[in-house]
Structure 1
Amino acid sequence: MNRKAIVVGAGLGGLSVAIQLKNKGWQVEVFDKATSFKSMGAGIVLAANGMKALERLGVAGEVKISGKKVGKAEIRTWDGKILFQLPTKEMAERYGTYSYLIHRASLQEILLDKFDGAGLHLQKGVSGFLQDESKVTALFTDGSQVEGDVLIGADGIHSAIRANLILNDKLRYAGFTALRGICSFKDEGYGLKSGGGFEAWGPGKRFGFSHLGQDRIFWFAAINAPEGKEIPFGSRKQAALHHLKGWYPPIEAVIQATAEEAILHHDIFDRKPLSQWGSGRVTLLGDAAHPMLPNLGQGGAQAMEDAIVLADCLSNSKDMAEAIFKYERERIRRTTKMVHHSRKMARMMQLENRVAIGFRNLMLQAVPSDILASRLHWVVGHEV
């Protein structure tokens, strides 16, 4: 009889582990509290390690078609002066692939198609679980129950599975809030042919501009602000324009080109890394296990790396608790380092003190681009 996995969360990590386990002969059921999959969302960058994970999942080709390669990656000052450029061509030659940017909803749709929909259940919120030596039982808010051999919490930063495993585990505010939008926009300096884009850094603020594929631009603004200061629908474009008035010319224009209803607003959080994610037949992956700030662009890639390693460990062992222990030992050191480095980068990127900013900018301009790229090797050069 095939072993059965219960996956909670139909995001990138949940669908990835479902695909891998299904490919290895498991019966897989995926549960998500959402009523439907919305097209709203933001762009997601997939560096070489993320693309290698997608190759393992069998969908890298579809992502390259739907997304856009990152042919240009610049960091500028708020008024447009170059701080450094990543050698994207040389990095692509070294790692065998360019980085790609894609709409998160498009990537989710690609993964859903690969999973083939069978075993996917929406409107299924989880209230908890029970387990013994022979099985684990997921408990749902509608009163239903499902039994399986393993339960995987892939239900994001506000994970219900994590809440049932770990007590008094609080979110950590990053110190900045984010406005994000998608629009159609053309600029000769950042033509669609090359792909990619830039980030511009100013005092306590930064702005990112990237080609998303299908003639669309994804942008974000990260702004130092107190936690919980809501920017409501109808005021978000105005807020972005206010904070970025007079910045590098494409910035105000791309914000103006974005429909108000297409602008998202979220405070940014992570959690303190854990030394253990699961217990017995239950474990976590992706943002449920190790939510990180977006500064390394690795949230999605790390979820997919988790998924591949977990599927391999579970399929190579008859003892679920032992397999989960092996998975956590293999993944926790890398993801913990990601969480720490993402937070460290946030402090550097969101500086407000002008003297500190001047020193940072001089240091970045003085370091050759190949040296800066080599410092990212541990991130993007990894293959699960």
Structure 2
Amino acid sequence: MSSPERDSPIVLIVGAGLSGLLLAQLLERANIEYHVYERASKVKPLGAAMTLGPSILPVFEQLGLLEDLKKVSYEVKAFVLRDENTKIIGSMALNGQKEISGYEGQLFARPALYDLMLSRIPTKKITLGKKILRIEEKDNKVTIHCADNCTHTGDILVGADGAYSTVRKSIYDEMASKRLLPKSDSEDLEAGYTTLVGVTSTLDLEKYPMLAEGSCSSEFMGGNGRSWVLMAVPGNRIAWACSLQFQNVEEAKRHKFSNAEWGPEANAAMIKEFHHLPIPYSGGKMGDLIDLTPPDMISKVYLEHKMFETWYYKRSVLVGDACHKMLPAAGQGAVNAMQDAVILANCLYDLKNNTQESITEAFKSYRAQRWHHAREQYDNSKFLAKVVGGLSWSERLVRTIFLHLPKWVVDKNNEKMCSYRPQATFLPMAPFHGTGAVLPQLPSVRYTREQEEKKKAGGVVV
């Protein structure tokens, strides 16, 4: 890929996950040249259910994606926590967020969102089967060297390639060789859980009548280090997840080593662990739902977490799990990854030129705007993981207290969560809905200037 001198950079995005695809859409709208390189030779969206709420939905509204998302979603009303016998321990309503923000939380099967995001990327701007071997910076350019002996050169490299990011490893190796890498960044991710996830085929409404309600509550069950989660999703289906919590570091390491190459045998062993456990639907068992799930829609995930200090180096920058891997209990991993994409796109839009000085300034601004918010949600994800599936007596006590918080405390927490809603500052802003306050956002210098120039010239201001 050639890179002639220009004001706008050429951006190489490694990883076609949700953050990479959202960044691509934003750069498309910002008229910034980009290309997405994905390691997998075939995109196969897996995963169970996920939710998006007020902290990211304004961007979907800006991009014209919100109504399409609603077509494949249910509104999230509450989550219910049960013990291992499905007896209700407590519940928490989530509808307070709509009054505050004007947005109802949307719950859907993760593959549905992935398909929607992928459909908005021009096929000529994404290449599959590209395994990155190393990164090289030379002559004020960055080049990725791939396993197929091809090279691709641009001005900026974005590592959106997940918790085991090749981009991160490459820049960290170079920084470590120069003694520039913080000690904490050289340490392994911290293990927490291993999870099996899937989405059933269409179910019989006579046996599962709750699927016809058009909205849903998330059902969390757990005990003895195990937890299983059920969420109704459109299409009369149930998205499910079964998790095993490790009791100590040694157990986590043994499990990770024994499952270095997961396959059908490893899935079968974990399925057996959960097959007999009860679910609150028609007196059924977890195995009923697993058996009604296509085998190719079942995947196993090793859940680790870590907040990295270093988010960029030279012309390379990290987003999402590559720089802050979160546990899924708070449902904030994908949301924060997409928020990274939004803020990074804003910084790239305002990039003065393609010099290293300007790029470093943009990366520094990106991290400064995101660090505090990402750190807060990282800590929340660890806390909620203990609330849902903690093993110790103190964690069970926290779970009981959390589920019986006064309404005013819940409302205050909702107001705080809904206040952070970053948007693309180079697009017309989505209207501020609801009654709650919204945190101020750095305006785009370039966009503001362009709008003022249009106004003076008698043009249309958007």
Q: Normalising by structure 1, what TM-score?
A: 0.90
Q: Are 2:324 and 1:290 aligned?
A: yes
Q: Are 2:398 and 1:364 aligned?
A: no
Q: 1:316 to 1:365 in 2, by over 3 A?
A: closer
Q: Kindly state the Cα deviation for residue 346 of structure 1 after the two structures are TM-superposed.
A: 2.2
Q: Kindly state the Cα deviation for residue 210 of structure 1 after the two structures are TM-superposed.
A: 0.8
Q: Kindly state the Cα deviation for residue 49 of structure 1 after the two structures are TM-superposed.
A: 1.2
Letter in 1 for 2:335: A
1:263 counterpart (298, 302, 307): 298
Q: Kindly state the Cα deviation for residue 247 of structure 1 after the two structures are TM-superposed.
A: 7.6
Q: Which residue of the partner structure matches residue 243 of structure 2?
A: 222
Q: Which residue of the partner structure matches residue 8 of structure 1?
A: 14
1:207 counterpart (197, 218, 228): 228
Q: Kindly state the Cα deviation for residue 280 of structure 1 after the two structures are TM-superposed.
A: 2.0
1:1-384 aligned within 5 A = 1=6, 2-132=8-138, 134-167=140-173, 169-183=186-200, 184-185=202-203, 186=205, 187-189=208-210, 191-225=212-246, 226-227=251-252, 228=255, 229-230=258-259, 232-242=266-276, 244=277, 249=283, 252=286, 253-271=288-306, 273-318=307-352, 319-353=358-392, 355-356=393-394, 359-372=397-410, 374-384=412-422
d(CA) in 2 for partners of 1:191, 1:72:
17
Structure 1 stretch 162-171 or stretch 322-331: which is displaced more? 162-171
Q: Kindly state the Cα deviation for residue 44 of structure 1 after the two structures are TM-superposed.
A: 2.0
Letter in 1 for 2:302: D
Gaps of 5+ in 1: none
Report if aligned partners of 1:171, 1:269 keep a CA contact under 8 Å in 2.
Answer: no
Structure 1 stretch 115-124 or stretch 300-309: which is displaced more? 115-124
Q: Kindly state the Cα deviation for residue 281 of structure 1 after the two structures are TM-superposed.
A: 1.6
Q: 1:323 to 1:100 in 2, by over 3 A?
A: same
Q: 1:259 to 1:129 in 2, by over 3 A?
A: closer
Report if aligned partners of 1:178, 1:222 keep a CA contact under 8 Å in 2.
Answer: yes
d(CA) in 1 for partners of 2:279, 2:113:
34
Q: Aligned pair count?
A: 381
Q: Kindly state the Cα deviation for residue 124 of structure 1 after the two structures are TM-superposed.
A: 1.0
RMSD: 2.5
Letter in 2 for 1:219: W
Q: Kindly state the Cα deviation for residue 376 of structure 1 after the two structures are TM-superposed.
A: 4.7
Structure 1 stretch 124-133 or stretch 111-120: which is displaced more? 124-133
d(CA) in 1 for partners of 2:359, 2:395:
50
Q: Kindly state the Cα deviation for residue 205 of structure 1 after the two structures are TM-superposed.
A: 2.0
Q: 1:6 to 1:260 in 2, by over 3 A?
A: closer
Q: 1:261 to 1:132 in 2, by over 3 A?
A: closer
Report if aligned partners of 1:68, 1:101 keep a CA contact under 8 Å in 2.
Answer: yes
Runs of 4+ aligned structure 1 residues displaced above 6 Å come to none
Gaps of 5+ in 2: 1-5, 174-184, 260-264, 353-357, 423-462
Q: Kindly state the Cα deviation for residue 63 of structure 1 after the two structures are TM-superposed.
A: 1.1
Letter in 2 for 1:382: Y
Q: Normalising by structure 2, what TM-score?
A: 0.75
Letter in 2 for 1:142: D
Q: Kindly state the Cα deviation for residue 245 of structure 1 after the two structures are TM-superposed.
A: 5.1
Letter in 1 for 2:325: P
d(CA) in 1 for partners of 2:377, 2:340:
13
Q: Kindly state the Cα deviation for residue 217 of structure 1 after the two structures are TM-superposed.
A: 0.9
* Structure 1 residues 278-331: Cα deviation after superposition (integer angstroms, max 9, x where no partner): 112210001111111111101111111111100111111212221111101111
d(CA) in 2 for partners of 1:146, 1:261:
33
Q: Kindly state the Cα deviation for residue 190 of structure 1 after the two structures are TM-superposed.
A: 5.8
Q: 1:251 to 1:193 in 2, by over 3 A?
A: farther
Q: Kindly state the Cα deviation for residue 365 of structure 1 after the two structures are TM-superposed.
A: 4.4
Letter in 1 for 2:170: N
d(CA) in 2 for partners of 1:142, 1:124:
7
Report if aligned partners of 2:319, 2:337 keep a CA contact under 8 Å in 1.
Answer: yes
d(CA) in 2 for partners of 1:335, 1:126:
27
Q: Select the structure of larger CA radius of gyration.
A: 2
Structure 1 stretch 39-48 or stretch 224-233: which is displaced more? 224-233
